[in-house]
């Protein structure tokens, strides 16, 4: 056994920076393949519901009337199947992981988009 095998580490520790980062002020850049969170380019969405049907965790809800799309970030397992089945390619997997502080209140875990119904022609509020 070499004499004092940890001595090199001790000396190195005197002159090196800490192995940890000052999270959340310093964040390691995410890898290209990292599973972060599902994001949507909502104006592109055609509300076909393919993502909601394929989702193994039932995290996505697509409404037809009024048109809406919502995802529960806590239910999502980031499997990426919705991204694969989306016919308009408007869903994507962001590699940046959300910070836990982003979910501080209960509503913030749900991302929701609703298209307001188009005013009917000739109706009371119509043109």
Which residues of the chain form contacts with other proteins (CB under 8 A)? 1, 5-6, 9, 19, 31, 33-35, 56-57, 77-80
In our burial notation (b when 16+ CB lie closer than 10 A, e otherwise), range 8-32 reads eeeeeeeeeeeeeeeeeeeeeeeee
Q: How far is the CB of 79 from other proteins (least distance, A)?
A: 6
Calculate ∠ Cα 112-113-114, nearest 5°. 125
Q: Which helix (H) or strand (E) segment is 92 a member of?
A: strand 91-94
Residue 6 or residue 101: which is nearer to other proteins going by CB? 6
Q: How far is the CB of 40 from other proteins (least distance, A)?
A: 19
Nearer to other proteins among residue 35 and residue 67 (C-beta): 35
Of 113, 108, 115, 111, residue with least CA distance to 69: 113
The CB-of-60 to other proteins minimum distance in angstroms stands at 14
Question: Between residues 37 and 67, which has the closer beta carbon with respect to other proteins?
Answer: 37
């Amino acid at each position: 056994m070499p004499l004092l095998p940890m001595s090199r580490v001790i000396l190195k520790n005197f002159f090196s920076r800490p192995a940890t980062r000052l999270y959340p002020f310093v964040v390691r850049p995410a890898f290209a393949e990292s599973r972060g969170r599902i994001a949507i380019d909502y104006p592109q969405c055609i509300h076909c519901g393919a993502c909601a049907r394929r989702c193994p965790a039932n995290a996505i809800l697509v409404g037809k009337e009024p048109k809406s799309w919502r995802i529960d970030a806590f239910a999502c397992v980031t499997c990426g199947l919705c991204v694969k089945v989306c016919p308009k390619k408007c869903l994507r997997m962001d590699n940046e992981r959300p910070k836990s502080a982003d979910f501080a209140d209960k509503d913030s875990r749900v991302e929701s988009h609703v298209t307001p119904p188009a005013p009917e022609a000739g109706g009371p509020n119509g043109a």
